[in-house]
Amino acid sequence: MKRLIYITLILALAVSFGFGQFAKVGTSGLQFLDIPVSTRAVGMGNTFSAVANDASTMFWNPAGMENIEGGAVYASYVNWPADIGLNAVAATMTLEGIGSIGVNFLMLDVGLMTRNDVYNPAGNGGTFGVEDWAIGLSYSRSLTDRFALGATVKIVHEKLADWEDNGWAVDLGGFYNTGYKDITIGFSIQNFGPDFRFDVDDDQDGKINEDKLDGIDNDGDGLRDEDTEEAGVPLPIAFKFGVSMPIMRSGDNSLVINAEIVHPNDNKENYNIGAEYWYGGMFALRGGYSMNMDAGDGLFAGAGFKLDLADIGAVNLDYAFADMGLLDIVHRASIGFSF
C-alpha cells in the first residue's frame, strides 16, 4: 500500500510539472466548469485541495469526502461579472465499510443575450438563450488511515442558441495525511473527457444537421454531406496540487496555511497561498493571494460562521470576495449543513 501511495504522489507531481507549461488562451470551451465554486477555498486564495473537508470538496477534490464524518450538504451562489450567476449544490454521505458517495449540480445563469452576427450587425436579431449545467456522482474511499482516492463522473450540457451538445467528464482526486505535524497533501485532475462537437448548419438554410456525414443526400437537395463534422471543443482540464499545514491549535482556536499550484490546459500555471483562522470554533477569517491569473495577481478574503445545533449537526455560513483585477470584485456566499 505504501508503494501505491508513493507511486500516486510521484505521478501527481510529474503531471503538475509537465502539464500546462505554455499558455493556450481560448483553446477550450465550457468555461463555467473552470469557475471556482467553494466559498471557503476562494476565501483562502483558491487553496483547498489539501484541506477538502466539507461538501464543496466535490467541486475541488472528491477524495476529500473521506474527511467528512456522517453527511453534509452545501449550496452556494457566485456573482460572476456581466450579471452572470453560478449556482451549485452538493450532498454527501459516508457509508460504513463502503466509502463516501455524493451528488452535485452546477448551473450557469447567463440570461438572454442579444443576437449580433453578420446577418444582424446592429444587434437587431432578437435574443437567444444559453444553457450550461453539469450533474455529477461522486465516490471516495480511504485505502489506509492516511490516504484516500475519489472520483466524480458528470454529465455536462451546453446550449448556445440553436446549437447544443451533451457530454461527460471525470474528476479524479487524492488526499494524503503525511503524519508529520498534520501536514496534508491533496491533488486532483478536473474535467477530463472527450471534446464537445456542436451540430452547425453549414448551408445556412435554417435546418440543423439535415445532411449528415453518411454519403446520402438526406434532405433531397442534390448535395451530399454538406454539413461537415465540426471541430472539437476541448474541456477546460486543470490539474491541482496543494499542501496544507496547521500553524497553531489551542482548544477551539486554530490557524492553517495552504499553498496550491494549478495547471490548466488553456493557460499558464498559477500559484496560490492562503490561510484560515478559527476563533472559538465559531468564527473564521480567511485570506489569500493568487499569482499569474488571467487578469493579474489577485487578493482574496472571506469569513465564516459555524453554529452547532446540539445533537442534530452544524450550520456553516460563508462569504468570500475575490479581486479579479480588470474584472473587478467577485462575491460568493454559501450555506452548509453537516449531520
Q: Which residues pair with 28 in a beta bridge?
A: none
| Short-list 262, 250, 259, 333, CA closest to 294 | 262
The three state secondary structure string of 63-97 is HHHHHCCCEEEEEEEEEECCCEEEEEEEEEEEECC
Residues sharing a CB contact under 8 Å with residue 13, sequence separation 6 or more, in sequence order = 241
- For the whole model, what pTM was predicted? 0.82
* Side-chain-facing half-sphere of 105: CA atoms under 13 Å: 6
**pLDDT at residue 248, as a whole number:** 92
**pLDDT at residue 47, as a whole number:** 95
**pLDDT at residue 266, as a whole number:** 80
CA pseudo-torsion sign 216, 221, 226, 229: negative
CA pseudo-torsion sign 55, 56, 61, 64: negative
- Name the CATH architecture for the domain at 2-197+239-338: Beta Barrel (2.40)
Quick check: 214 and 225 in contact, CB under 8 A? yes
**pLDDT at residue 63, as a whole number:** 97
Q: Which residues pair with 92 in a beta bridge?
A: 72, 102
How far, in Å, are 12, 22, 267, 273 from residue 19 at the CA level? 10, 9, 10, 20
Phi, psi of 254 (to 5 degrees): -155, 155
Give the angle subtended at the CA of 104 by the CAs of 99 and 108, to the nearest 5°.
Answer: 160
**pLDDT at residue 110, as a whole number:** 87
Domain boundary assignment for the chain:
2-197+239-338, 200-231
**pLDDT at residue 20, as a whole number:** 45
| pLDDT by 10-residue block (mean), the chain, 339 residues | 52 49 65 92 95 95 95 95 92 94 95 75 73 96 94 94 86 95 95 83 58 69 66 89 94 94 86 95 95 73 93 93 81 95
